[in-house]
C-alpha cells in the first residue's frame, strides 16, 4: 500500500492523461463536494462537458469556486488533466493567494491502459494522437511540478499502485 500524506487543508491537483483514472480516484478518496472537475464546469458553463471551446470559462469558474472553498478552509481537489504548466500555474496561484499548500498526485498508467479505457467511453472522442500528446506533456511535467510550487508531489505508477493508494491527512498544527 502506498500512503499519500496530504495536509488537512490543501489544494490537490490530480495530474494524468485521459483514462489514467483521475475521476475514479477522486470518487474513491474524496467526497463529491470536494472535487471540482473540469468536465462538470464545462457542463455548467456550456451545457456540454466535452465542449473544449468552453474550457477558458470553465476554468475561470472552477478557480473561482476553488478560491472560495480555500478561503473557507475546505480541502479541494481539482479533477482535470493538469498536464500543462499554464493550467497548473492557475492552481498554484489560487492556493498561494489563500496560504494553502498545493499538492500534486500524478497518476501514470501504461499507454495501452489509458487508450483502452478512453476508447471504451462514448463520451471521449479524441484519437490516439491526442493521447500521445498528453503523454508527452506528462513526461515533461515530472521535472517541473516541484519547481512550479507544488509542496508535495506524489507519483502513482501503474494500475496496481493507484488501486492500493490510501490518503493520510496530516494535521496542520
CB of 34 to ligand CTP, least distance (A): 15
Yes or no: say if 138 and 15 are a contact pair by the CB < 8 Å rule.
yes
What lies within 8 Å, CB to CB, of 25 at 6+ separation is: 14, 105, 107, 162, 165
The DSSP secondary-structure symbol of 36 reads: E
The DSSP secondary-structure symbol of 74 reads: -
Task: Please give the residue whose beta carbon sits closest to Mg ion in the complex.
Answer: 23
Site for ligand CTP in 45-64 (CB under 6 A): none
> Given the complex with ligand CTP, which of 121 and 144 has the nearer CB atom?
121
Of residues 2, 4, 23, 161, which one binds Mg ion by CB under 5 A? Answer: 23
> Given the complex with ligand CTP, which of 41 and 100 has the nearer CB atom?
41
> Given the complex with ligand CTP, which of 24 and 34 has the nearer CB atom?
24
CB of 168 to ligand CTP, least distance (A): 21
Q: Which of 32, 34, 27 is nearest to 12 (CA)?
A: 34
CA angle 154, 67, 52 (to 5 degrees): 75
Contact between 141 and ligand CTP per CB under 6 A: no
Of residues 42, 45, 66, 81, which one binds ligand CTP by CB under 6 A? Answer: 81
Radius of gyration (Cα) for the chain, nearest Å? 15
> Given the complex with ligand CTP, which of 51 and 163 has the nearer CB atom?
163
> Given the complex with ligand CTP, which of 87 and 101 has the nearer CB atom?
87
Chain centre to alpha carbon of residue 90: 13
Cα–Cα distance between 36 and 13 in angstroms, integer? 10
CA angle 9, 15, 16 (to 5 degrees): 150
Of residues 10, 22, 41, 54, which one binds ligand CTP by CB under 6 A? Answer: 22
What is the binding site for ligand CTP (CB under 6 A)?
Answer: 16, 18-24, 81, 117, 121, 124, 159, 163
Amino acid at each position: 500500500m502506498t500512503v499519500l500524506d496530504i495536509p488537512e487543508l490543501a489544494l490537490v491537483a490530480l495530474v494524468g492523461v485521459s483514462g489514467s483514472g483521475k475521476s475514479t480516484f477522486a470518487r474513491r478518496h474524496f467526497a463529491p463536494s470536494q472535487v471540482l472537475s473540469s468536465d462538470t464546469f464545462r457542463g455548467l458553463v456550456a451545457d456540454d462537458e466535452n465542449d473544449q471551446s468552453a474550457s477558458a470559462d470553465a476554468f475561470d469558474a472552477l478557480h473561482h469556486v476553488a478560491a472560495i472553498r480555500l478561503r473557507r478552509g475546505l480541502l479541494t481537489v481539482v479533477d482535470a488533466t493538469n498536464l500543462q504548466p499554464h493550467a497548473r500555474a492557475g492552481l498554484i496561484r489560487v492556493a498561494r493567494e489563500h496560504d494553502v499548500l498545493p499538492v500534486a498526485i500524478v497518476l501514470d498508467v501504461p499507454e495501452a491502459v489509458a487508450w483502452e479505457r478512453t476508447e471504451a467511453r462514448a463520451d471521449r472522442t479524441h484519437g490516439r494522437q491526442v493521447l500521445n500528446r498528453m503523454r508527452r506533456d506528462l513526461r515533461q511535467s515530472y521535472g517541473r511540478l516541484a519547481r512550479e510550487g507544488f509542496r508535495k508531489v506524489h507519483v502513482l505508477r501503474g494500475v496496481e499502485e493507484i488501486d492500493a493508494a490510501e490518503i493520510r491527512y496530516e494535521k496542520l498544527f
